[in-house]
Amino acid sequence: MGHNKFAPSWLSEPKDLNQVDAGVWPSGLARTPAGDVSIAGIPVAELATKFGTPLMVIDQDDFFARAKKVKSAFENSCSRIGTSSKTYYAGKSLLTTEIVKWIDQLGLNLDVSTGGELALALAGGISPDRIGLHGNNKSLYEIGRAVTANVGAIVIDSEIEIERIASVAGAQDKIQPVRIRVNAGVHAHTHEYLATAREDQKFGIAISDVPVLVEKIRSHSHLKFLGLHSHIGSQIFALEGFIESIRRLLPLHKLLLAGGAVPELNVGGGFGINYTSSDDAPEITEFADRIADEVATICGELEIAVPILCFEPGRVISGPAGITLYNVGTIKDVQLKEDGVTGVRKYVSIDGGMSDNARPSLYSADYSPILASRVSGAKPALSRVVGKHCESGDVVVRNCYLPEDINPNDLLAVAATGAYCHSLASNYNYVTRPAIVAVKNGNIQLVLRAETEADMFARDPGYLEDKTR
Ligand SMILES: Cc1ncc(COP(=O)(O)O)c(C=O)c1O
Q: Is 418 in the pocket of ligand 1 (CB under 6 A)?
A: no
Domain boundaries, the chain: 29-59+320-456, 81-318
CA of 268 to the centre of ligand 1 (A): 7
Q: How confident is the model at residue 301 (pLDDT cuts 50, 70, 90)?
A: very high
Q: Is 145 in the pocket of ligand 1 (CB under 6 A)?
A: no
Q: Is the pLDDT of residue 395 over 70?
A: yes
User: Which member of 310, 390, 400, 421 is catalytic?
Assistant: 390
Q: Is 313 in the pocket of ligand 1 (CB under 6 A)?
A: yes
> What residue type is 266 in one-letter code?
N
Q: Model's pTM, two decimal places?
A: 0.97
Q: How confident is the model at residue 200 (pLDDT cuts 50, 70, 90)?
A: confident
Q: How confident is the model at residue 158 (pLDDT cuts 50, 70, 90)?
A: very high
Q: What angle do CA 241, 245, 250 make, to 5 degrees?
A: 150
E-strand ranges in 293-403 read 308-311, 322-338, 341-350, 369-371, 380-386, 395-403
Q: How confident is the model at residue 1 (pLDDT cuts 50, 70, 90)?
A: low
CA of 298 to the centre of ligand 1 (A): 24
End-to-end CA distance of the chain: 57
Among protein residues, the one with the nearest Cα to ligand 1's atom 12 is 269
Q: What is the mean pLDDT of the chain?
A: 97
Class of the domain covering 81-318: alpha beta
Task: Judge whether 78 counts as a catalytic residue.
Answer: no
The answer to whether residues 31 and 20 touch, using CB atoms and an 8 Å cutoff, is yes
**The total number of residues written for the chain in this structure:** 469
Q: How confident is the model at residue 194 (pLDDT cuts 50, 70, 90)?
A: confident
- pLDDT, residue 226, reads 98
262: left (phi over 0), alpha (psi -120 to 50) or beta: beta
CA of 88 to the centre of ligand 1 (A): 10
Q: Is the pLDDT of residue 292 over 90?
A: yes
29-59+320-456: CATH topology is Lyase, Ornithine Decarboxylase; Chain A, domain 1 (2.40.37)
Candidate from 203, 231, 237, 420 with most ligand 1 atoms within 8 A of CB, to mutate: 231
